[in-house]
Copies of this chain bind each other. A is one copy, B any other.
Amino acid sequence: MKIVAIDTYDVRFPTSRELDGSDAMNPDPDYSAAYVVLHADNGRAGHGFTFTIGRGNEVCQAAIEALAPFVVGQSVDDLGEFARRLTHDSQIRWLGPEKGVVHLAAAALINAAWDLAGKTAGKPVWQLLAEMSPQQIVDLVDWRYLSDALNPAEALEILSAALPGRADRIADLKRSGYPAYTTSPGWLGYSDEKLVRLAREAVADGYTQIKLKVGDNLEDDVRRMKLARQTVGDSIRVAVDANQRWDVDEAVRWMTALAPYDPWWIEEPTSPDDVLGHAAIRRALSPSGIKVATGEHVQNRIIFKQLLQADAVDFVQIDAARVAGVNENIAILLLAAKYGKPVCPHAGGVGLCELVQHLSIFDYVAVSGSMQDRVIEYVDHLHEHFVDPVVIQDGAYQVPTAPGFSAEIRPETLQRFSYPDGPEWA
């Protein structure tokens, strides 16, 4: 199977109008997708995207177009080779390497190739992955820069150890789904009343974990955290998320003030580049039992490797569209399994829930074999724009059954929200 053409789209949703998605670093995001359709010589199409929050989405689109010569006319039969081709071109690599805009663009294209592979095989991507042999999975990974933490032989052992229970775990998932947590109550732009109402609804809907945005004003955060705890009771986990707002000392001070209300984890306390900073924060907070999570802005497997080597995080928050797609996320799932840390994906945005459910399901079936302390983020925005949206029941993601990566946006949405000429923006 070869790619014969690609189409790209700049799609933006005016989410800043309602302050959906507002946090301490991102006060007014317009959730957006740099979107790509790969047309194959078998007549099928693969859809993929990277997620941005508005301005600059066109720069990602330009980067996708810069990578197009490595896609059009090329085979997608070997998805390991396909992914490496997109991250190894020396001239484009100079712009990263393997980070920022060029990596976001690679994510869009690699995820689209997986959507295509799933649709061609007639299977959802999680199943395509979960039916591969350990060696086939190992061959999908770019092993460069990982060998001081994990080598292919060790990865093969991890995957082989998980072989026996695969069928049982699939049955288990089909019965109970994969647990979710919800960030919907906690956006910084919401009133206290809206926070309380949405937190109450979350518990009623079966969630056992919610999340609040923090980091703009300590007094407000103490009040909101206290309100949330009073609303949900002691048995529900309340995570908090600072979206990189603090320096190391400030993170420790701020979280110490929130400690009486028993926050489950502090997410992105500081720069996502700061491995040693996360390690210092984790050490300082460990007496209070507050855990550290990060990942939605972690640029690639090399930073994740170091977060694990330095014991800097308790939870690994993969993102489906920031690192180089499915392939690099497999490397990160394997690293997390080696170091015994739960993977709790970042989601929300546009379509990130749709994508990342496949990765967590694959992790449970074929990599970690565990759902202990693992939850996938869920945000109830923008799903109506997808052909195969996620299904949440009793606070759990239901296993997707349609072929592909659940990545396809409805054609009428692509048209309406096209930037800057679609009717929503014109």
Binding site for B on A (CB under 8 A): 25-30, 52-56, 58-60, 62-63, 66, 89-104, 144-148, 244, 247-250, 270-277, 280, 297, 299-300, 302-303, 305-306, 309-310
Which of B55, B90, B102, B273 makes the CB contact (< 8 A) with A27? B90
A to B CB contacts below 8 Å, 22 in the list: A25-B93, A26-B90, A28-B90, A30-B91, A53-B91, A54-B91, A54-B94, A56-B92, A59-B59, A59-B62, A59-B63, A59-B102, A97-B297, A101-B101, A144-B271, A145-B271, A147-B247, A148-B247, A148-B277, A148-B280, A273-B303, A274-B306
| Residue pair A270, B145 in contact (C-beta under 8 Å) | yes
Tallying the copies of this chain within the complex gives 2
A104-B95, A274-B302, A302-B271 as given contacts; A90 in contact with B145, CB under 8 Å: no
| Alpha-carbon distance between A66 and B34 when the two chains are bound, in angstroms | 15
The prevalent SS among residues of A at the interface is loop
Q: Provide the residues of chain B in CB contact with A28, threshold 8 Å.
A: 90-91
Query: Once the chains are docked, how many angstroms separate the CA of A59 from the CA of B100?
Result: 12
Q: Which residue of B lies closest to A274 (CB)?
A: B302
Find out whether the CB atom of A247 lies under 8 angstroms from the CB atom of B144.
yes
* With contact pairs A95-B104, A148-B277, A247-B145 given, residues A55 and B89 touching in the complex (Cβ less than 8 Å): yes
**Minimum Cβ distance to chain B for residue A312 (Å):** 10
Question: Are B26 and A276 touching (Cβ within 8 A)?
Answer: no
**In the complex, residue of chain B having the shortest beta-carbon distance to the beta carbon of A23:** B90
Measured between beta carbons, the chain B residues less than 8 angstroms from A62 are: 58-59, 62
A55: which B residues are within 8 A, CB to CB?
A: 66, 89, 91-92
State the CA gap A373–B147 with chains docked (Å): 33
Find chain B residues with CB under 8 A from A248 CB: 147-148
In angstroms, Cα B162 to Cα A390, docked, is: 61
Q: Whole-angstrom distance between the alpha carbons of A247 and B142 in the complex?
A: 12
Minimum Cβ distance to chain B for residue A13 (Å): 13
**A52-B95, A99-B99 known, 5 other contacts, Cβ within 8 Å:** A56-B66, A60-B95, A100-B102, A100-B299, A275-B276
